[in-house]
Structure 1
């Protein structure tokens, strides 16, 4: 059903492109769903039809977070380069004669990686996902206007926090450090993400 609806969004006119946004709390399953949708669209309509560009590539580097005193709030709205993300969305909506390169995020490094992703000119669908795509914050509200569709992805809190605990422990934190970070940062971030749910045209429940 979801895949059918996404395929229906893809423009049949060459040269046109649709942007689908997936918002939601940390570890709700946004990245997994985005990759699945891109894979299925490409399987039905041909390789290169769809591309995925996560918002996570616009995390500020750890060096910048340290400079700003925000390292312990990594993942909060103020720890992203929202202007850079908005600029990328504008580029994706503009003329498409050349590839568009976008930053990725390397969880093993816990750092963004410049030009880690590419959207080819022939891509007619771009799926982008992140916590704050539906956010009302002054710097974030412009994101919604640049998306053709915006869906909210949700999963039970206990499942999300299990995933976050695993993610942070794999990333090098002790279990105690990971649990403390989830309580101090991830839960407030989840509440902030949930505040934009009403701006989404569809709610997708995973888990």
Structure 2
């Protein structure tokens, strides 16, 4: 007797199949908008945004409506005042995969819904420990790994947002100086939708040995997106971005990586590959990639940096 196959956790779509799900949703971005929103090494086009992210925002509109309905039902049952509860979207994936571009495109599209919702965007970079703390703990070379983040502060931030608290402060990280900015803060004030972008937002973290119940950042996400790609492609994109930064931001006298701009091209390539293979790749394989199966939506990119396959978790 043949064994019955377990149901697959995801629906699979080709880009053409997924694009058809936009239905009659109008495209509200222009080519100029997309060019402004994309990052250095992400060649996303208006067509890509229309084929992939427009159907996604249509799906998200249904999710937001459903979650709001659930909160309304709960408020009626508990006989409590109905209050706005922000919808939180997480965007995860490797370094250089295009998380920032995805988050910015989503924010721009969501802001242009007919209801004109307030959509805020934060990255987890601000929740990294300052370099002084990382150095003191001997983990400066593991920057970006889970232990380099103040996970307690990040979870507290998400809890405050979900509880409807106003004027929640978020620390600011500078990629130029490669550190948290002392006293730097941005304020998130009761958004309708919050997009959170970062490497490890889907990671559950370590369970306490004393049996004490705890919550994880992923517990606060209403919808999560994982941007996926082959590791060889990711290394190529990382190096491409690395060399573009070497010719631009790294030349700034205040840049932490100023010394890289002064290296020969061969020396810089050796250094960039070393960073990828000793820090970014191990972190991807050990901590980031294992969280892919926890995402609600997986967008798989091909070598050209464009989406080839879409996987949507079955509900």
Q: Same fold (TM over 0.5)?
A: yes
The separation in 1 between residues aligned to 2:129 and 2:136, in whole angstroms, is: 11
Contact conserved, 1:135 with 1:141, CA < 8 A, in 2?
A: no
Q: Which residue of 1 aligns with 2:26?
A: none
Mapped pair 1:199 → 2:304: no
Contact conserved, 1:22 with 1:150, CA < 8 A, in 2?
A: yes
The separation in 2 between residues aligned to 1:22 and 1:205, in whole angstroms, is: 13
- Listed as ranges, the matches of 1:1-207 within 5 Å are 1-11=55-65, 15-45=84-114, 49-96=118-165, 98-113=166-181, 114-121=183-190, 123-138=191-206, 142-168=216-242, 170=245, 171=250, 172=257, 173=260, 174-191=268-285, 192-206=287-301, 207=305
Shift in alpha-carbon separation, 1:71–1:166, aligned structure 2, 3 A: farther
Q: CA deviation at 1:166?
A: 4.3
Tell me the secondary structure at the aligned position of residue 53 of structure 1: strand
Greater shift, 143-152 or 86-95, is seen at 143-152
Tell me the secondary structure at the aligned position of residue 44 of structure 1: coil
Shift in alpha-carbon separation, 1:99–1:10, aligned structure 2, 3 A: farther
Contact conserved, 2:117 with 2:193, CA < 8 A, in 1?
A: no
Q: CA deviation at 1:8?
A: 3.1
TM-score computed with the length of structure 1 as normaliser: 0.87
Task: Let me know the Cα RMSD of the aligned residues.
Answer: 2.4
Q: CA deviation at 1:24?
A: 1.5
The separation in 2 between residues aligned to 1:47 and 1:60, in whole angstroms, is: 35
Tell me the secondary structure at the aligned position of residue 200 of structure 2: coil
Q: CA deviation at 1:127?
A: 0.7
The separation in 2 between residues aligned to 1:167 and 1:68, in whole angstroms, is: 29
Contact conserved, 1:29 with 1:155, CA < 8 A, in 2?
A: no
- Higher RCO (CA < 8 A, seq sep 6+): 1
Contact conserved, 2:205 with 2:216, CA < 8 A, in 1?
A: no
Greater shift, 157-166 or 19-28, is seen at 157-166
The separation in 2 between residues aligned to 1:30 and 1:141, in whole angstroms, is: 24
Contact conserved, 1:10 with 1:17, CA < 8 A, in 2?
A: no
Shift in alpha-carbon separation, 1:7–1:103, aligned structure 2, 3 A: farther
